[in-house]
A and B are shown apart, each in its own frame.
Chain A
Amino acid sequence: MRAAAVVLAGGRSSRMGTPKAALAWHGSTLLRRTVGVVARGTSGPVVVVRAAGQELPDLPADVLVYDDRRAGLGPLQGLSVGLHALEGTVDVAFCCSTDLPFLHTAFVRRVVEAMDDAYDVVLPMAGGFRQPLAAAYRPSLATDVDVLLAAGQLKPAFLFDRCRVLRLHDEDLLAEPRLAAADPALESVRGVNDRTEYERALARPAPEVAVQRFGVLARDGNRGSRTVRAATITAAAVATGLTLDRHVVAAVNGDRVTRDGSTPLVAGDAVTFVSADAGG
């Protein structure tokens, strides 16, 4: 099942007092982090839906940015735009808000992998609460969302009344061993709504990750795996004494090789640093 993601960045952030998308997060931004985590948790493109004219922080070049057609209609409006953007290209879209700094790739995978032909929505019920902005939707629901918007029914609950919803309670979510190990308290759905919550979240230590350098990067006693705290690849490089220049590339959990130091890391990641000239 091909999965993509939609990140809703166009909210008013009225309680925060400043756009959440641009909030700093360990050398990056909240939006960059969320985009990076959902990209790693899915296989398809990432769609960011913003308010018309909204300035966004730097994002990877392959992120698709769409504008909300109308302001003030809440998350269903952004959901409509995002799902329409993905209609016909993927089977499922993980949709979330921008303010989930503890979102884990294992959570994203758990939710999208739960989708099957019997359902239209996979809705986490973390802590007993519905999490419509950390849920998976079929892109074909876009038309249903438009009907609700036209009728002024702006809450996600109206959508759930019209389609087949798989609800995942805590025990369902944590039945997946990787998620249980990586995020046992299901902090993936913990948002930051105001300044106090944001600052409290920011004060927590960065995720604990394993870092290993190979080849000539492992000289001078730098062989073997080390555990460091780092929220991005750049931070992991710095923590292990490396400069991420043109001679160095990285891979997270043995996946694609990247030079993008802003790639977010989550707890339990293993970061590999190799010479950019790997090969014969």
Chain B
Amino acid sequence: MSAVPAAAGGYFGRALVVDVGTGGATVLPLPDPVLRDHLGGAGLGAWLMTELAPAGVGPLAPEAPLAFCFSPLVGTPLTTSAKFAVVAKSPLTGLLTDALASSHFAISGKLTGNDAIVVRGACERPSVLLVDGAGARVEPADDVWGMSAADAEAALRIRLGAGWRIAAIGPAGERGVSYATVSHDGRHAGRGGLGAVLGAKRVKAVAVHASTKVAPADPKAVLAAARDLRQRSFGQATAKYRELGTLANLLAFNALSTLPTRNFTAATFAEAPQLAAEDISDLRKVARNSCASCSIGCEHIYATKSGKKARVEYENVFALGPMCGVSDPDDVLAASSRCDELGIDTISAGGTIAWAMECAERGLIDAPWLRFGDGAALLRALDEIGTGTGIGTLLAEGSRAAAERVGQGSADFAPHVKGMEMPGYEPRTLHAMALGLAVNARGADHNRSGAYEADLAGELDRLDGGAEHVAAAIETEDRAAIMDSMILCKFLRGVFTEPFDEWAALLRPVTGWDIDGAELRATARRIVLLKRAYNLREGWTPADDWLPERLLTESLQVGSGREARLTPERLRAMIDGYYAARGLDADGRPIATLGGQRRTSRGGLRP
């Protein structure tokens, strides 16, 4: 075991690296400069993958590492800080992916005494990895193999005891579905197929038990900051999340022609009111819930017709509703619940099925039952994905891989970037977001690039992308890099008026660092650059920073009658502007390389 240096406040200064094949564990020291350069969460995960993943490793290979990364704020009373990132090479994209989830697993996982837990190797039989203050051990988990993540979590808590917190995969992860999730307490680290990475290691679950404490540098100041932040979290800036949840977006997006519908053949959905939070929350909402250490309470839980419960978010309703042309709320809620049971990402599931519906309607695949608007067909497709039967074998690898197999021009309307299916933001009517989706390291993603904020904030013309949109996309990407690394929930972002300065003010009393907003901006750029550099090492090419052909050749019309068109030339110009502003070369490659001379003394990349 390596010597671990004294860590800054809020950190342990170490990662636990476990080989689940042998059961052996080693401690990887995380020196203060590494932590200060990458903070935690997604940033630390990118650094760990760069350091620990063999170049070119297959995402499902035993040697491929998967990291649970915590952050300096976890364990403090700062609201929304109980979050963790799961990071690995994605089986969906072949590039880096990081996905966040929340609640007690974050706190207990960190209080095992580690800033990250890295899983490598592969078990011979279904297993559960247990980590506590004594280290790591692997136990058989044949009895929970095949269960939904929620059922497995419940069963393991009975076996292990209530003090254990568990993140688990569902049947889809066991079967290697490329967009399988890792979940804890019903919340999913959803994007990029992290569940399949754990499944390939035959690890059904990771269980953690808090065994120690972590001390901030200035506990009184942290408490005062936490009180202030909590108070601000009750205001108007978070009202949407508290009162209706993100599903409040649905009708607004429909009115603004930015609700992707029937696989991006339209941007409005006539039946949207049937699925809107404003209309169905009174009828179907049965509970509202919060993550641990959260004062917002964004989770809105609805009842399905069969009596099950479904967590409802804009993204799952968009992907399983309008994207597939399905308007019956019973079908959409049932589909959402089914995704949870199988442990699959709703966005990728909905996007892939919508693509398949279009293929079937065009006669490109032999599935005459699969039609836009057919809720029963949607549920059948989900079941076949989860069970690896019928058309599920084609759809389990996502729309990019499926389109490569089907051919016949179907790649032109496969709704993905870098293999990751697109979220519910229409790029032709949101030009800053179009750029963000194209260039983001994770692929088509609204959490690592929140450029839609600029399109919808009223400061620029969302249909006329240019230099302002480039600047906005970079700014929101930088903000996301910090929020995902320090970690704070993005639903809190509206309460900050000078975010980098205010985030530095939160980090100072926790860590004891003399960090300021300018340093955090540099940190954000470093993290964005590091992800890009990792991807380059793993085979990224300039062609990966692009949007599906359909979005660049078919125009839309907004309500005013104005044409919404995103030409290849406009997208190219915005991408070129992004590369220049990021200090990349003309093909989007970082000028600094992972092994190059421009690495900083802390081991990171110069921003």
Known: A254-B257, A277-B494, A280-B314. A215 touches B251 (CB 8 A): yes
Indicate if B52 sits at the interface (CB-CB under 8 A). Answer: no
* Smallest CB gap from A106: residue in B: B561
Query: A122 to chain B: closest CB distance in Å?
Result: 18
Count class of interface residues, chain B: 35 or more
Find out whether the CB atom of A249 lies under 8 angstroms from the CB atom of B456. Answer: yes
**Which B residues, 262 to 296, have Cβ-Cβ distances below 8 Å to chain A?**
277-279
Indicate if B498 sits at the interface (CB-CB under 8 A). Answer: no
Residues of A close to B490: CB separation below 8 A: 280
Residues of A close to B159: CB separation below 8 A: none
Known: A215-B252, A216-B239, A216-B240. A255 touches B562 (CB 8 A): yes
Binding site for A on B (CB under 8 A): 236-237, 239-240, 243-244, 246, 248-249, 251-253, 255-257, 277-279, 313-315, 423, 425, 446-447, 450, 452-453, 455-459, 461-463, 490, 493-494, 558-562
Find out whether the CB atom of B456 lies under 8 angstroms from the CB atom of A279. Answer: yes
Known: A256-B462, A257-B256, A272-B255. A215 touches B248 (CB 8 A): yes
CA gap between A254 and B560 in the complex, in Å = 6
* Smallest CB gap from A109: residue in B: B561
* Smallest CB gap from A43: residue in B: B562
Indicate if A275 sits at the interface (CB-CB under 8 A). Answer: yes
Residues of B close to A219: CB separation below 8 A: 243
* Smallest CB gap from B493: residue in A: A277
Indicate if A147 sits at the interface (CB-CB under 8 A). Answer: no
Indicate if A229 sits at the interface (CB-CB under 8 A). Answer: no
Tally of contact residues, A, Cβ under 8 A:
33
CA gap between A262 and B307 in the complex, in Å = 50
Known: A249-B456, A275-B248, A279-B456. A257 touches B243 (CB 8 A): no
CA gap between A203 and B599 in the complex, in Å = 70
Find out whether the CB atom of B559 lies under 8 angstroms from the CB atom of A279. Answer: no
Binding site for B on A (CB under 8 A): 40, 43, 109, 178, 212, 214-216, 218-219, 223, 247, 249-260, 270, 272, 274-280
Best-surrounded residue of A43, A223, A274, A280 (most CB of chain B within 10 A): A280
CA gap between A251 and B315 in the complex, in Å = 23
Query: B490 to chain A: closest CB distance in Å?
Result: 8
Known: A216-B243, A247-B237. A278 touches B558 (CB 8 A): no
Given contacts A215-B277, A253-B561, 13 further A-B contacts (CB under 8 A): A215-B278, A254-B257, A255-B558, A257-B256, A257-B455, A257-B458, A270-B559, A272-B252, A274-B255, A276-B456, A278-B252, A280-B315, A280-B446
Known: A215-B278, A249-B458, A259-B459. A254 touches B255 (CB 8 A): yes
Residues of B close to A258: CB separation below 8 A: 458
Find out whether the CB atom of B240 lies under 8 angstroms from the CB atom of A277. Answer: yes
Best-surrounded residue of B252, B425, B559 (most CB of chain A within 10 A): B252
* Smallest CB gap from A212: residue in B: B255
Residues of B close to A280: CB separation below 8 A: 246, 249, 313-315, 423, 446-447, 450, 490
